[in-house]
Amino acid sequence: MSRWRTMMARRAMTAVAVTTGLVLTVAGCGGGDGGEGKPDKSKPSAPSDKKDGGDDERKQSDAPSADKILAESKDGDISVAITSAQRDGGGFITVSGTVTNNGSQSWMGANWASDERELRSNGGSLSGASLVDAEGKKKYLVLRDTSGRCLCTKFNGRVRQGESASWFAQFPAPPEGTSKVNFQVGAMPPAPIEISEGE
């Protein structure tokens, strides 16, 4: 009987040894994949994530290039940024950007309105804006429809202190060879802009 018990004990010991060996093997493989056994191995991936994050940050910083400021102009506390001046296939140019009120009172854009009788009903708007082709010695006024409404932004509300508002205005297109014009509105100094070709 003692021999039989000895054989059973050996078999049990062998089974325990094999099981222990398998557990250690699995634990060793798991540690290399970021398990608890080797936490430091996950650290090298962090810099690569940061590198990717840096690329993402670079992409995000490059993304606003669509809103790249072509020109800026300022009259007192009101500043204008022009972000696009695109020639379209229909024979007109669309100029757009933002206006920012850095003053202590709300701003309505009343001094940007046109003096033309036909456009007086537009109120606070970019109806008084123009493009000047200095080389061709021509001035292009904002387009309007048959009812006398300008093809431009109308500031229906006020631009409050510290706030910005988007705007656009459409003009007849200068000849194809003309790529540089000055944008003028209200008492703002002329802002030189370069026309980009539409798709």
The whole-number mean pLDDT for each consecutive block of 10 residues of the chain, a chain of 199 residues, reads: 53 52 47 48 44 41 57 91 91 94 87 77 82 92 87 85 92 90 92 85
* Confidence (pTM): 0.62
pLDDT digits (tens, 9 = 90+) for 148-157: 888 888 887 7
Q: In Å, how far are 14, 37, 45, 157 from 30, measured between CA atoms?
A: 24, 8, 17, 63
Query: For 43-70, what is each residue's pLDDT tens digit?
Result: 444 444 444 444 443 333 333 344 688 9
> So what's the pLDDT on residue 42?
45
Q: Which of 37, 117, 110, 49 is nearest to 78 (CA)?
A: 110
**Main-chain phi, psi angles of 21, to 5 degrees:** -60, -40
Question: How far is the C-alpha of 35 from the C-alpha of 32, rounded, in Å?
Answer: 7
Q: Edge-to-edge, what's the strand order for the sheet holding 138-141?
A: 138-141, 130-133, 180-184, 191-194
